[in-house]
């Protein structure tokens, strides 16, 4: 019986390594590739040898990847790509094949899950695409002979005749509590190599966790290519054990749950918070939620369990614009919920987008006035990007200039540049309005005092801010993410 194959898992950077030190998004936040870490742990549990190289945390990794492939001769190399990092992953696939022509390149993630067959049609260096949830599909791919690939659900591949075949989406998804904890040991320098968003945590070291997959809602701007409309989550017990492991193993003092809807199942959060209160870990945590899934009683319990900040997807303060893209639009309820969060003693972060289809200068003004009327502590304003896999992407492609102009430069589709400009607006105008929104936010006395208070509430954030002050000032004054 032949031994199981080996695979190197890679998280691409997305651009030239020499520019990484001046990238404001990296300066502010380096998140570990939790999806790859989960896949790595799953493969290891099934006897498949694997390693991870995270180019985003360690930008100058081309030589390391080549040395690994040259020395270890893995049968496969796997890339987890966003839209903006796909070309970098494809470049690396071509590069490793110059030293190991027989290696097979597997791509996964939201971008390729949305485009599927198109990826193999246009990029010969890509041998396989894993569509949707990756653990079991990748395991089966690595252990199935070529003639049996038709039985591997969730796979795009070339058959013996060179035809591109999609085997169909997986019909049965994994029970998340059955998964091993992510392979944090495979992430070089963890946790010190990774940083949460600046001013978004009280203490260090800190880390990230995802305790659910999917989302039950159907917002126009959200990708549906990986999990569709499914929504699953870990139990409260698994959640507590995960948190306990990170604290005892790595000394983490704060954890950010990156779930889209952390509080969707209220009882799960209640049970988790009660476990934390009964068996304290000395940790705090952040989460994201929708306003309709929060109430005063739950917020008080979350605060007692260590909740430090909650992020809310406000998106825009124009109710008419929001109703065209999202369900359950109620800006009054949003305001009332924010007041409840503040009353419970928890920080609030507002998440917003500028440039949704239908956006106008008037709607941007409305949004600015609404947000500035709220007692939020922090906010993040991103540039709307229509990603493949989202409903609005198809609408924009079909409507063409009637909806707006769409450059669709994949390398710039990371919510840091305006790739889509709504009909009636100009790109330069959008850039000016974006800078004005940020400047106005930081110039408000209450906001300025809030950041001063971070000197004692999050001293590590201030150290990072001072260390990278030129990059932050460049972004606020010129709206440039990376220095030229």
Q: Which residues contact 6 (CB under 8 A, 6 or more apart)?
A: 48, 49, 50, 72, 74, 75, 76
Using CA atoms, how far apart are residues 73 and 104, in angstroms rounded to an integer? Answer: 11
Tokens in use for 302? 């979350």
Strand ranges for 28-68 from DSSP E: 50-54
Predicted TM-score (pTM) of the model is: 0.94
CATH topology of domain 7-166: Rossmann fold (3.40.50)
Q: Are the folds of 7-166 and 196-478 the same?
A: no
Q: Where in the chain are the domains?
A: 7-166, 196-478
Q: Are 380 and 349 in contact (CB under 8 A)?
A: yes
Report how far residue 345's alpha carbon sits from residue 341's, in angstroms, rounded to the nearest whole number. Answer: 7
Tokens representing 39 are 């896949």
**Domain 196-478 classified CATH 3.80.30.20?**
yes
**In this structure, what token pair is assigned to residue 410?**
């994949």
Per-residue pLDDT of the chain (484 residues; tens, 9 = 90+): 347 799 999 999 998 888 877 777 888 899 999 999 999 999 999 999 999 999 999 999 999 999 999 999 999 999 999 999 999 999 999 999 999 999 999 999 999 999 999 999 999 999 999 999 999 999 999 999 999 999 999 999 999 999 999 999 999 999 999 999 999 999 999 999 999 999 999 999 999 999 999 888 889 999 878 887 789 999 999 999 999 999 999 999 999 999 989 999 999 999 999 999 999 999 999 999 999 999 999 999 999 999 999 999 999 999 999 999 987 778 999 999 999 999 999 999 999 999 999 999 999 999 999 999 999 999 999 999 999 999 999 999 999 999 999 999 999 999 999 999 999 999 999 999 999 999 999 899 999 999 899 999 999 999 998 988 877 777 766 666 665 5
Long-range CB contacts for residues 404-409, cutoff 8 Å, separation at least 24 = 404/357
From the centroid of its chain, how far is CA 461? 21
Nearest Cα neighbor of 24 from 399, 457, 468 is 468
Helix (H, G, I), strand (E, B) or coil at 254: strand
């Amino acid at each position: 019986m032949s031994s199981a194959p080996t695979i190197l898992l890679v998280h691409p950077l997305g651009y030239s390594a020499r520019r990484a030190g001046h990238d404001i998004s990296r300066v502010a936040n380096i998140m570990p590739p939790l999806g790859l870490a989960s896949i790595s742990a799953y493969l290891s549990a099934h006897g498949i040898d694997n390693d991870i190289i995270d180019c985003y945390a360690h930008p100058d990794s081309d030589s390391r990847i080549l040395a690994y492939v040259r020395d270890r001769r893995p049968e496969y190399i796997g890339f987890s790509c966003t839209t903006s990092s796909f070309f970098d992953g494809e470049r690396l696939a071509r590069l490793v094949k110059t030293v190991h022509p027989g290696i097979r390149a597997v791509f996964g993630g939201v971008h390729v899950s949305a485009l599927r067959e198109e990826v193999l049609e246009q990029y010969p260096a890509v041998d396989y695409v894993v569509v949707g949830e990756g653990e079991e599909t990748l395991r089966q791919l690595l252990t199935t002979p070529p003639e049996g690939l038709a039985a591997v659900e969730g796979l795009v591949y070339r058959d013996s005749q060179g035809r591109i075949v999609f085997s169909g989406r997986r019909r049965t998804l994994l029970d998340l509590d059955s998964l091993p904890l992510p392979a944090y040991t495979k992430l070089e320098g963890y946790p010190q190599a990774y940083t949460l968003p600046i001013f978004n945590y009280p203490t260090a070291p800190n880390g990230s966790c995802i305790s659910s997959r999917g989302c039950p809602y159907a917002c126009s701007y959200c990708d549906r290519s990986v999990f569709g409309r499914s929504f699953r989550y870990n139990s409260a017990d698994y959640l507590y054990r995960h948190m306990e492991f990170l604290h005892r193993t790595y000394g983490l003092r704060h954890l950010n749950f990156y779930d889209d809807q952390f509080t969707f199942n209220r009882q799960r959060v209640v049970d988790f918070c009660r476990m934390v209160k009964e068996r304290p870990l000395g940790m705090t945590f952040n989460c994201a939620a929708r306003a309709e899934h929060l109430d005063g009683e739950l917020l008080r319990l979350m605060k007692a369990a260590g909740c430090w900040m909650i992020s809310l997807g406000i998106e825009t303060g124009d109710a008419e614009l929001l109703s065209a893209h999202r369900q359950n639009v109620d800006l009054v309820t949003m305001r009332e919920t924010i007041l409840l969060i503040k009353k419970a003693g928890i920080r609030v972060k507002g998440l917003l987008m500028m440039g949704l289809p239908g956006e106008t200068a008037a709607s941007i003004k409305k949004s600015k006035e609404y947000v500035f009327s709220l007692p939020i502590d922090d906010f993040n304003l991103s540039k709307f990007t229509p990603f493949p896999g989202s409903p609005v992407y198809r609408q924009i492609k079909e409507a063409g200039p009637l909806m707006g102009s769409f450059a669709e430069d994949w390398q710039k589709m990371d919510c840091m540049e305006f790739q889509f400009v709504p009909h009636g607006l100009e790109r330069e105008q959008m850039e000016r309005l974006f800078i004005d929104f940020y400047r106005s936010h930081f110039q408000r006395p209450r906001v300025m005092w809030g950041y001063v208070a971070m000197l004692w509430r999050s001293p590590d954030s201030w150290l990072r801010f001072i260390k990278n002050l030129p990059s932050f000032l460049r972004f606020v004054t010129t709206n440039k993410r990376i220095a030229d």
